[in-house]
Amino acid sequence: MTTPAFQLRAELPGHEEDVRCVAWSPIGILTGSRDKTIRIWKEHGGGRISCENVLVGHTDYVTALTFIAPGSSTWYPEGTIVSGSRDTTLMTWGLSSFLPVHRLKGHKYQISSTALLSDGRVASASLDSTIRVWQGEQCVQMLEGHESAVLCLAALPGPGARLLSGSGDRTIRLWADGKCTGIFSGHTDTVRGLSVVPDLGVVSASHDQTLRLWSFAGETLAELVGHTALVYSAAAHARTGLIASASEDSSARLWHGNGACVQSLPHPRCVWDVDFLPNGDLITACADHFVRIWTSAPERAAAAEVIEAYNASLAADAAPGQGEGGGQSAVAGMMEDAEVLARPGTKDGQTKIIKEHGTAVAYSWDQGRGEWEKVGEVMGSASGSGGGDTMAVGNRMHAGQQWDFVFDVDVDPNQPPLKLACNRGDNPYDVADRFMEQENLPITYRQQIVDFVLTNTAGALKMPAPMAMNVDPFTGGAAYQPSGSHGRAAPSSSAGPNVDPFTGTAAAAAVRGQPHRLQHCPQSSFLMMDTLPKPEALASKVRQFNDQIKQGTDMEAVVLSEEEAVPSGPLNTLIARSLQCAAAGASSSGQVAQGSRLTQQDLALLARLLRWPAPHLFPALDIARLAILDLHAATSLASTAGPLLLSPQGDIGAALAAACGDPPIPANLQVGLRLACNTFRHEPLRAWVASNQAALLDAFAPACTSPLRPVRLGLATFLLNLSAVLHSSSRQAAEVGVTTQALSALSELLSSCTAEDGEALFRILVAAGTLVMENAEAKSIAQQLTILEDATKFRLAGRAAEALADLAILLK
């Protein structure tokens, strides 16, 4: 039986960012977004659908939605909407007020999925590798066993509160009465989506670009192959038997249970989620901020002009956007005669621009139906011609990054086309070099590739002007040299003393033309925060605070005496010797001269300063930041560092705990992070960091959302240093929880950055790339956190753009 083709029924604008999740309910269509809101959409007379309610309460983007009807659950008798978020909480919402009822806390990291069990309880999954079961607002059970983040859930009908879970460990687990009773194996990458297929089994979606249909016993019934990128979600319809899928390849697909692809529905951007309406219509959640409804019923299809406008927008994406040398003449260079449509396409979604009565019309190959489908008329635009089968333009995704142009280039007729991506204004020789390195092509192809992109972009790329020596090609100014305020790399023993991963000293040895994809990852050195303060100003601030705390009680043991605080006294000596420690940290030995070392008396005085109350603490943190750059001082302070607790049993640990106390004091966070960065300089304090990693990440969590750029830079640097430690120990099975915690912090920090945070953005991306290298679980978590997608929203240049390219390669 032929399945009727689906057409666009409606586009629902309203969300301000990506729509991440969608669920049908009797009260309307529920959608959750990166804009942190939930919307409820209702149908009115004539088939019109509009947003009736906006639910506000989560502090980060909404990742999961489940509807509970009134009377269907003992623990939620009045019914509710359950939402999960990247803010690590679940919320239940009143169905009359649409206001929050309860906030459920317990998970350590973001919620990835929710489900209603057959006994009326709620299950939630998280990147913390656990599943929690809730009765009302109480967590009554925690299911553990997955070896990586749990990313999806599907509740099974019948007794036993059976539940399926999918994970970054590539497995699906079956749970009954809180116990794991089966493991389904078959996917070769993260299991991202699950949906029950009534009377048949369950369908799973995976980052391995496939879907699998399973029996409830764990037997593979069919493999659904056709998507060309990560598959995020799946849904099934009981009456029609159709399966729907959502993918990074900017399409939703419809499938039969036998594995045959019925139809591909192109979208402007990545499709995050899908669900069916009871009447068989399909809902899709897209990264372009739109919710869309698709129908196979002609009477419910959108007006012809609406469908034509949507198809024309897709055609504009499939052809080049406006450019300086544009117009219909450029499109004409791409047009082919209609006879080419008599030949089948080479892959699903392949586009041809056909000349019809003097007009350029786009056709797309539908692999499932085996025919060319008319997409719409192509409007005049700057374009290219010949050489590539397809060209996509205008912020198209490739390798996790947005590009103005993406060509299919046939190098070997026996192999799939290669993707060549570039942006307007790019140097065509840089484009050619990057493409040759990525695809390991011989240098003899260089000029041919340059000619190809110049011809096919109609002047959108620019030939380089003659350039003086030592000019930064990204800014046009002198070659970049990091200043002291940005930190300096302290070489690790594995890299050698002359390697600076940020200025490319080591990379200069690479031979151009050889495969060398990664420019900045992994991070193998540590960045120090070694900017020197003015000693007079630092001493003056200590004296000012000393006078203030004299008035307090129980401060006698830490207050400086008049003899200690005088300009020629021990305080000034401590500061002067700490500055000498910082200068020594710049040397290869990292040790100050014997006669200038901090004495035990100096260190005892510093320990007292580190016990000052939080409002007066940051000058002491600054002195300690400088002192620990000397190996002798670092060794001594490591022995007394103590745990990261407000206790009398340690110096640095207690001081950092106080600095990160609630409410956070910006100056403490800023200087405390600088101190934490410098603990990586020498092994004794690195060992202390290793034993306090999770506690440090918890303590510095407020810095993730700081409005202050120096604080954000400090946290980015700390996370970069930590990534180097975790990567070096990854081969010894470094703790997954700390890596997940670090990636979550990087993701949250990235969301707080602005376009002016260039250096912080660079360090965030290098840290993320370092953490995911040779670590499949970390890679899966980074993909779930959408770190790459978040970073592409910045107009990055120079080293930050290179770091983004590194991360895109590592997350492929």
Over residues 609-646, the pLDDT tens digits come to: 888 888 888 999 999 999 889 888 889 899 988 888 87
Assess contact for 384 and 334: CB atoms under 8 A.
Answer: yes
Kind plus residue range of the DSSP H or E element containing 377? strand 371-377
Gap between the Cα atoms of 548 and 7, Å rounded: 73
Assess contact for 397 and 267: CB atoms under 8 A.
Answer: no
Kind plus residue range of the DSSP H or E element containing 456? helix 446-456
Gap between the Cα atoms of 191 and 763, Å rounded: 29
Gap between the Cα atoms of 600 and 636, Å rounded: 9
Give the 3-state DSSP-derived string for 265-310, with helices as H, strands as E and coil as C. EECCCCEEEEEECCCCCEEEEECCCCEEEEECCHHHCCCHHHHHHH
pLDDT higher than 70, residue 576: yes
CB atoms within 10 A of CB 49: 17
Assess contact for 33 and 62: CB atoms under 8 A.
Answer: yes
What pLDDT is recorded for position 489? Answer: 42
CB atoms within 10 A of CB 470: 10
Assess contact for 552 and 613: CB atoms under 8 A.
Answer: yes
Structure confidence at residue 320 as a pLDDT band (50, 70, 90): very low
Q: What is the dihedral of CA 544, 550, 555, 556, to 10 degrees?
A: 110
Q: CB-based contacts of 475: which residues, under 8 Å, 6+ apart?
A: 797, 798
What pLDDT is recorded for position 62? Answer: 95
Sign of the dihedral through C-alpha 650, 656, 659, 660: negative
Lowest-pLDDT choice from 443-447, 638-642, 737-741: 443-447
Q: Map tokens 């509160």 to a residue.
A: 161
In angstroms, how far is the first alpha carbon of the chain from the final one?
A: 38
Give the 3-state DSSP-derived string for 734-750, with helices as H, strands as E and coil as C. CCHHHHHHHHHHHHHHH
Gap between the Cα atoms of 655 and 642, Å rounded: 10
What pLDDT is recorded for position 427? Answer: 81
What pLDDT is recorded for position 495? Answer: 32
Q: Which residues of 287-298 are buried (b: 16+ CB within 10 A; e: fewer)?
A: bbbbbbbbbbee
Assess contact for 7 and 297: CB atoms under 8 A.
Answer: no
pLDDT higher than 70, residue 444: no
* Span 537-562, average pLDDT: 83
Assess contact for 643 and 698: CB atoms under 8 A.
Answer: no
Gap between the Cα atoms of 112 and 120, Å rounded: 20
* Span 184-208, average pLDDT: 93
Q: Which two tokens stand for residue 298?
A: 């002609």
475 vs 200, 472, 478, 797, CA distance in Å?
Answer: 59, 6, 8, 8
Query: Is residue 505 classed as helix, strand or coil in its secondary structure?
Result: coil
Lowest-pLDDT choice from 28-32, 52-56, 188-192, 662-666: 662-666
Predicted TM-score of the model (pTM): 0.64
Residue ranges with strand state E in 78-126: 80-85, 90-93, 100-104, 111-116, 122-126
Region of 120 (left: φ > 0; alpha: ψ -120 to 50; beta: rest) is: left
pLDDT higher than 90, residue 312: no
- The string of pLDDT tens digits covering residues 18-27 is 999 999 999 9
Assess contact for 193 and 166: CB atoms under 8 A.
Answer: yes
Kind plus residue range of the DSSP H or E element containing 422? strand 418-422
Which of the two residues, 105 and 784, has the higher pLDDT score?
Answer: 105
In whole angstroms, what separates CA 135 from the centre of its chain?
A: 32
Q: Strand 111-116 to strand 49-56: parallel, antiparallel, or no bridges (unpaired)?
A: unpaired
Q: What is the mean pLDDT of the chain?
A: 81
Kind plus residue range of the DSSP H or E element containing 372? strand 371-377
69 vs 45, 331, 338, CA distance in Å?
Answer: 24, 53, 54
433 vs 477, 513, 809, CA distance in Å?
Answer: 22, 7, 16
Structure confidence at residue 478 as a pLDDT band (50, 70, 90): very low
- The string of pLDDT tens digits covering residues 219-250 is 999 999 999 889 999 999 999 999 999 999 89
Residue 590 gets which letter from DSSP?
-
CB atoms within 10 A of CB 312: 16
- The string of pLDDT tens digits covering residues 345-371 is 776 667 777 766 656 676 777 666 677
Lowest-pLDDT choice from 433-442, 444-453, 726-735: 726-735
Gap between the Cα atoms of 791 and 780, Å rounded: 17
- The string of pLDDT tens digits covering residues 495-539 is 333 233 222 333 323 323 333 478 899 998 899 988 888 888 888
Structure confidence at residue 797 as a pLDDT band (50, 70, 90): confident
* Span 323-340, average pLDDT: 50
CB-facing half-sphere around the CA of 791: CA atoms within 13 A = 34
Biggest CA–CA distance in the chain, Å, is 96
Side chain identity at residue 163, one-letter code: L
Helices (H) and strands (E) in the chain, counts: 20, 36
Side chain identity at residue 61, one-letter code: Y
What pLDDT is recorded for position 174? Answer: 96
Side chain identity at residue 139, one-letter code: C
* Span 784-789, average pLDDT: 88
Assess contact for 719 and 680: CB atoms under 8 A.
Answer: no
In whole angstroms, what separates CA 424 from the centre of its chain?
A: 25
What pLDDT is recorded for position 727? Answer: 86
* Span 461-479, average pLDDT: 38
By the 10 Å C-beta count (0-12 exposed, 13-18 middle, 19+ buried), 544 is classed as: exposed
Domains of the chain are 311-456 (3.10.20.870), 482-493+506-684 (no CATH), 700-812 (1.25.10.10)
Which of the two residues, 504 and 55, has the higher pLDDT score?
Answer: 55
Q: Which long-range contacts (CB under 8 A, 24 or more apart) does 70-79 make?
A: 70/95, 72/116, 72/120, 73/116, 73/120, 73/121, 74/120, 75/120, 75/121, 75/122, 75/134, 75/135, 75/136, 76/120, 76/122, 76/136
Assess contact for 797 and 425: CB atoms under 8 A.
Answer: no
Q: Which residues of 753-773 are buried (b: 16+ CB within 10 A; e: fewer)?
A: beeebbbbbbbbbbbbbbbbb
Assess contact for 184 and 214: CB atoms under 8 A.
Answer: yes
CB atoms within 10 A of CB 650: 21
Q: Which two tokens stand for residue 136?
A: 């009302």
122 vs 15, 161, 173, 593, CA distance in Å?
Answer: 27, 10, 17, 64
Which of the two residues, 81 and 401, has the higher pLDDT score?
Answer: 81
Gap between the Cα atoms of 453 and 428, Å rounded: 7
What are 420's strand-pairing partners?
Answer: 407
